[in-house]
Amino acid sequence: MKSLKMFFLAIACFLAMAATAQQPQSKGQMNSQKLATTLYLIENFYVDTANIDKVTEDAIIAALKELDPHSAYISKKDVEKANEPLVGSFEGIGVTYQLIRDTITVISPTAGGPSEKVGIMAGDQLIKIDGEDAFGKKIDNEYVQKRLRGKKGTKVTVSVKRGDDPELLDFEIIRDKIPLNSINASYMLDKHVGYIKLDRFAQESTQEFKEAFAKLQVQGMESLIFDLRGNTGGYLNTAIELVDQFLTENQLVVFTEGIHSPYQEWRCTKDGLYTTGKLVVLIDEGSASASEILSGAIQDHDRGVVIGRRSFGKGLVQRPFNLPDGAQIRLTTSRYHTPSGRCIQRPYEKGAEDYAKEMEKRLKHGEYYHADSIHFPDSLKYKTDGGRTVYGGGGIMPDIFIPVDTAYNSKLYTNLVRKGALNRFTTDYGLKHRDEIKTQYGDFENFNKDFVVGKDLIDGLKAAAKEAKVEWDDEQFNRSEKFLLLQIKALIARNVWETQQYYQVMSSADTGVQKALEVLGSEKAYKNLLKRK
């Protein structure tokens, strides 16, 4: 850290000399001098020994918090870790998180990871870790990594605040190797419709997509459902490369602007793999950044139908600036705009705390259940290539709204997931009966067609619930029975085969997928959705 100290001292000396020479100073120079002089005075005249390195970091972090929710300081030791979800693998609990107001907020659980398996959800705030308070000024990336990462098979207990619920929810999570393939699933839904689910826009996503697409083509794919639900983003260049697969040469993908950043645009470089076939893009409130760039470009160019719920609304560009000691500032320098001119970023003028409660506010306003609860002023109207009206103001509004499925909104189901009973039961069952299942059904296709969750499995789940101290309620079971039984089957499939098989089983109850199949099955309906209204 000596180089950092010398850096600030050098600035102080330089500006002090400039002031002595009575040369006029800009406001920026004056503020830089104030900061450097303050640090110099603390280090050399403060009554006690001061940790000047920590003081400096705290000052930088506090300054960035005043700007916007996404500008961030990353210490030297955290720079490489910050990129791990996009370029490598690690062992831990499997969540993408952000520190908002000194609280660990889950952006998204990793698909198929330990946290998702026990029921951790986007928006959850981790208040305690292994019984210790996990909020306040002591919380930084190092604190989080030390407590949530660890060797495969080790346990960690987290207490979660969810929405307005005053009681904390306790989850016991068994750490595991976090899968970092960016495509979770790719398969044929029927003889003509292919499905690809992208978890994040990672370094190898384009190549993964091309390989998955080629396999589906061989199987007869004529239409594609591209699922970006829960995809929090990733690399901009990957988003552009993937948009390139659907549009034609020279079509605009996205442009950025900022007060200190000139207009910059990205266009398709060549005709992609799939520029004419029918396309549906699925999004929801967890789709952010690169997901919004892709879905916005598809919508603005009338290339496909966007189905789901309004996306997250993260359209700020962070440019990395390296500091002298190897640390990094990721500073917001501009905003993303879709080809029609829509700004993707939702407002954040009311501060970080209000910004962090966006999903909670959407829930209160009924936006998850009713499309007409969302209102946009005429000033936010934009036009697609074909003249359709779309809206700016934060996030991408889908062409077809799909409400949150309430089939699993029973206390019984929530508690079975939260206390790990459902996951433990299906995991144990899958391990115990794997060879038997494979022998009886041969392959997953036969299992998916013929396997039935019978009374023996329900009784087994009841026993697992009792062991986990979950009160069984027949009325609540009846309310979510169809969904719960399908979940049992899907989780067993995941444990016997892979994550992809989970999605294949659940697709029959996935309202977004089923609506997409309905739209793609009707040439007239598909074309009408893309016509000017």
Q: How confident is the model at residue 428 (pLDDT cuts 50, 70, 90)?
A: confident
Q: How confident is the model at residue 11 (pLDDT cuts 50, 70, 90)?
A: low
pLDDT of residue 326: 87
* Tokens coding 39: 């640090």
Residue 372 pLDDT greater than 80, yes or no: no
Report the pLDDT averaged over residues 310-321: 90
Residue 8 pLDDT greater than 90, yes or no: no
**Are the CB atoms for 339 and 254 separated by under 8 Å?**
yes
**Are the CB atoms for 98 and 65 separated by under 8 Å?**
no
Strand partners, 186: 196
User: Which residues, 6+ apart, have CB-to-CB distance to 185 below 8 Å?
Assistant: 195, 196, 197, 227, 499, 500, 502, 503, 504
CA atoms of 137 and 61, how far apart (whole Å):
11
Rounded to 5 degrees, φ, ψ at 216 are -70, -35
pLDDT of residue 84: 62
CA atoms of 312 and 201, how far apart (whole Å):
16
- Secondary structure (3-state) at 403: coil
CA atoms of 117 and 422, how far apart (whole Å):
9
Residue 337 pLDDT greater than 80, yes or no: yes
More confident residue, 94 or 361: 94
Name the most confidently modeled range: 400-409, 485-494, 495-504. Answer: 485-494
pLDDT of residue 142: 83
Q: How confident is the model at residue 9 (pLDDT cuts 50, 70, 90)?
A: low
Residue 510 pLDDT greater than 90, yes or no: yes
CA atoms of 33 and 39, how far apart (whole Å):
10
pLDDT of residue 444: 95
Sketch out the chain's domains with CATH numbers: 2-74 (no CATH), 89-178 (2.30.42.10), 183-318+332-404 (3.90.226.10), 411-497 (no CATH)
Q: What is the pLDDT of residues 67-124, one digit of tens each?
A: 888 898 988 878 766 666 665 557 899 987 877 667 888 876 877 789 988 888 877 8
- Percent of the chain surpassing pLDDT 90: 50
Q: What is the pLDDT of residues 455-468, one digit of tens each?
A: 999 999 999 999 88
Q: How confident is the model at residue 282 (pLDDT cuts 50, 70, 90)?
A: very high
Q: How confident is the model at residue 366 (pLDDT cuts 50, 70, 90)?
A: confident
Q: First and final CA of the chain: distance in angstroms? A: 61
Q: What is the DSSP letter of 317?
A: E
CA atoms of 6 and 412, how far apart (whole Å):
60
CA atoms of 86 and 403, how far apart (whole Å):
30
Residue 252 pLDDT greater than 80, yes or no: yes
User: Which residues, 6+ apart, have CB-to-CB distance to 213 below 8 Å?
Assistant: 186, 194, 196, 221, 224, 245, 273, 274
Radius of gyration in angstroms for the set of CA atoms belonging to the chain, rounded to a whole number: 25
Q: How confident is the model at residue 6 (pLDDT cuts 50, 70, 90)?
A: low
More confident residue, 379 or 381: 381
